[in-house]
Amino acid sequence: MEMKIVKKSFAMGKHTITLETGRIARQAHGAVLASMDDTQVLVTVVASKKTQPGQDFFPLSVDYVEKTYAAGKIPGGFLKREARATEKETLTCRLIDRPIRPLFPAGFVNEVQVIITVISANSEVDPDIISMLGVSAALSISGVPFNGPIGGARVGYTEGEYTLNPTYSDLKKSDLDMVVAGTNEAVLMVESEASELSEEIMLGAVMYAHEQYQAVIANIAAFAAEVGTEQWDWQAPETNEALLDDIQSQFGTQINDAYQIKEKMDRYAKVDEIKTAAIEALAGNNEAENSADEVSKYFKKIEKSTVRERILSNEPRIDGRDNETVRELAIETSVLANTHGSALFTRGETQAMVV
């Protein structure tokens, strides 16, 4: 079956963005070939229309892959296979995951896979921004429940002026390298490295990026409207309010008390004890209307709301610290005999052995 090819181009600062669908990867729920100048990425979105029984989390995976052929090169050196993800690839995955994950509706736990492949690379254009925009477009045309689209932009700061999507060469002269992503209404993600800049300049950079990607969001929305994919007929699962109230009334105080135990393992043991009692009380016999899995799911909701309410009420954190106190730190050096250097770093109950 021949599919309609939809292509849309628009300007973003000094760069030209092009989005195309219908020509490549037609069997994916959403597939977009996205270009920023000569940097091109293929973004595919595939999702399951069925939920795994008992699943209580959202299995979203975002994979970003850079191919050496994109730069006209062949892998060399000791490892000639492109297998393990590089640090840059891992960081770009996270950069894209963070702004899109909150935009899937609560209760949606179908598996979603997003893969971004860099297939052509301009030596001056970082693929991360066009990858983010391509993902936004691919999700918007996939039919998957998604409260997007999002926009994203990189901001530089050179000689007192903000620059939009600076090139690699521009960044060498810039005092700021900031990536901002979000919707029309809100900023969802900020990541940056910078010289010593004032808070006013940093906040100004966030607002500058938010203003600049408004037109991008509008263009992605227009692109999705032209594609016209039918949205999935998905309804959020109903909340068992009766069970939620039962857990809160019978065990809420105990849960709150347990989360004031400072020692982690003791706290875990107490919470498990309360959870076991809740399951026994509300799903422990054949006449019970609730399953153990359902009680466990709503018990976790009460745990989350308990911790959240304590934070909003400005109460001490779980381990007794106030909002301005860091965990106790301890550092030991030369802990191993025959290494050139070693250190044991301890922060609270977390430890790292560094060699």
pLDDT in tens, 293-347: 889 989 999 999 999 998 888 888 888 888 888 989 999 999 999 999 999 999 9
Q: How confident is the model at residue 199 (pLDDT cuts 50, 70, 90)?
A: very high
Q: How confident is the model at residue 238 (pLDDT cuts 50, 70, 90)?
A: confident
Q: How do the domains of the chain map onto residue ranges?
A: 6-227, 241-312, 325-355
Give the pLDDT of residue 316. 87
* Lookup: tokens for 215: 């037109």
106 or 55, which is more confident? 106
C-alpha 315/C-alpha 126 separation (Å) is 43
C-alpha 142/C-alpha 314 separation (Å) is 42
pLDDT tops 90 at residue 292: no
Amino acid found at 31: A
Tell me the β-bridge partners of 181.
152, 189
Give the pLDDT of residue 90. 94
**What's the rounded mean pLDDT across residues 94-111?**
95
* Lookup: tokens for 285: 């016999």
**What's the rounded mean pLDDT across residues 131-143?**
97
Q: How confident is the model at residue 288 (pLDDT cuts 50, 70, 90)?
A: low
Give the pLDDT of residue 54. 75
Amino acid found at 74: I
Tell me the β-bridge partners of 40.
35, 120
Torsion of CA 165, 170, 171, 174, to 10 degrees: -100
Give the pLDDT of residue 74. 77
CB 342 within 8 A of CB 353: yes
Question: What is the CATH code of the structural domain delimited by 6-227?
Answer: 3.30.230.70
pLDDT tops 70 at residue 28: yes
Give the pLDDT of residue 201. 96
Q: Could you report the per-residue pLDDT of 259-286, keeping only the tens digit for each? A: 999 888 999 999 999 999 999 989 866 5
C-alpha 34/C-alpha 135 separation (Å) is 9
Question: What is the CATH code of the structural domain delimited by 241-312?
Answer: 1.10.10.400
Mean pLDDT over each residue of the chain, to the nearest integer: 92
Q: What is the per-residue DSSP string for 160-174?
A: TEEEES--HHHHHT-
Give the pLDDT of residue 256. 93
Q: How confident is the model at residue 287 (pLDDT cuts 50, 70, 90)?
A: low
pLDDT tops 90 at residue 250: yes
Backbone phi and psi for residue 57, each to the nearest 5 degrees, phi listed first? -140, 165
* Lookup: tokens for 72: 């006209």
Give the pLDDT of residue 35. 96
**Lowest mean pLDDT across 131-145, 212-226, 229-243:** 229-243
C-alpha 30/C-alpha 78 separation (Å) is 37
Give the pLDDT of residue 79. 66
Sheet holding 329-333, edge to edge: 329-333, 343-347, 350-354
